[in-house]
Structure formats: structure tokens, C-alpha cells
């Protein structure tokens, strides 16, 4: 769930529901994700939200983890990113999960054309040529 995309009313309802569950000591765990603005959005919706939830900062992934995050889902579909493409994507994203996700989605939607392009750009960078862009 991407909580950063919830409306204020939706976030308010979620926070109130979780607060009621906590008050009644019912066993419920909620796991979600959002952009760094999420704690502020939650606090704006309900002032007690920042005390109710934990907002750990994930930060960037290491190169190997970033490659795995991109490669594993596409391999389930019978395709793969080329090593040069993975390297270029890591250099561009610096391992930040949101940007990796966006590149991964684009790669899947392009049916391989996208990774060919990224690989060509990586090779051109190595040769000092940017004409393929």
C-alpha cells in the first residue's frame, strides 16, 4: 500500500481505525510504504499519528540489492536486464527504491526495448558518445 497517495480523509479514517484497534488491544499489524512526506501527512490528518506509527527510513539499496530488486520480478516473466543496464540504472537512481521501481515498471512495460536503450546509453557513456539519447 502506498500511503502517500491516500487522500486526507482516507488517511484520517485509517489512522482512526488503527487507533481503535490499539485501544482495544486487538492483534493487527499494518505495513505500508510512502514517500518521505508521509509522517507529515499523517500528522496533519491526526496529530497523534506520529506516536501511533513507526516511520523507518529505508534509504538507498546497495548495488547487489538494487539489481536483485529489478532482476527477480522480470526473471519470473522470462526476461532479464542486461548487466550494463543494471549498472546504468543503479548509477542513475543511486539505489533509491522509488526510482528503482519506476525503472523496473518501465522496463517491463517496454518489453525489452527499454533495457536495450539503457544498455546502449551505458555503452555510449563508456565511449564518450551521447548520440543514442
Instruction: Quick: pLDDT tens for 61-101.
Output: 999 999 999 989 888 878 788 888 899 899 999 999 888 98
Q: Distance of alpha carbon 68 from its chain centroid, rounded?
A: 13
The verdict on 38 and 87 lying in the same domain is no
68 shares a domain with 12: no
78 and 26 both lie in a single domain: no
Number of domains the chain is built from: 2
Whether the per-residue pLDDT at 15 is higher than 70: the answer is yes
The stretch 106-116 carries a mean pLDDT of: 65
- Determine the structural domain holding residue 111 and report its residue range: 63-127
Alpha-helix residue ranges (DSSP H) falling in 1-133:
8-23, 38-45, 49-52, 63-75, 83-93, 97-110, 113-127
Rg (alpha carbons) of the chain, rounded to whole number: 20
Q: pLDDT value at position 124?
A: 63
Residue holding cell 485501544?
A: 23
**Residue 112, domain member (yes or no):** yes
**Does 106 score more than 70 pLDDT?**
yes
Is residue 3 within 8 Å of 10, Cβ to Cβ?
no
Per the listing, cell 479514517 goes with 13
Residue 25 φ/ψ region, left for φ over 0, alpha for ψ in the -120 to 50 degree band, beta for the rest: left
Q: State how far the alpha carbon of 105 is from the alpha carbons of 55, 73, 94, 124, 133, in Å.
A: 25, 10, 17, 23, 20
Q: Residue 33 has what pLDDT?
A: 77
Lowest mean pLDDT among 34-38, 45-49, 51-55, 70-74: 34-38
Residue 114 lies in a domain: yes
Confidence (pLDDT) at 66? 96
C-alpha cell at 80: 532479464
**pLDDT at position 40:** 87
What does the alpha-carbon distance between residue 46 and residue 1 come to, in Å, rounded to a whole number? 19
pTM: 0.57
Residue bearing cell 509522517: 39
Amino acid at each position: 500500500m502506498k500511503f502517500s497517495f491516500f487522500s486526507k480523509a482516507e488517511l484520517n479514517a485509517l489512522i482512526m481505525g488503527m487507533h481503535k484497534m490499539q485501544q482495544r488491544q486487538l492483534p493487527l499489524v499494518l505495513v505500508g510504504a510512502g514517500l518521505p512526506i508521509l509522517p507529515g501527512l499523517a500528522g496533519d490528518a491526526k496529530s497523534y499519528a506520529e506516536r501511533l506509527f513507526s516511520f523507518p527510513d529505508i534509504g538507498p539499496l546497495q548495488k547487489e540489492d538494487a539489481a536483485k530488486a529489478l532482476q527477480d520480478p522480470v526473471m519470473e516473466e522470462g526476461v532479464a536486464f542486461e548487466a550494463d543496464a543494471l549498472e546504468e540504472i543503479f548509477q542513475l537512481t543511486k539505489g533509491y527504491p522509488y526510482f528503482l521501481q519506476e525503472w523496473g515498471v518501465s522496463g517491463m512495460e517496454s518489453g525489452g526495448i527499454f533495457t536495450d536503450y539503457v544498455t546502449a546509453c551505458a555503452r555510449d557513456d563508456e565511449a564518450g558518445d551521447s548520440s543514442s539519447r
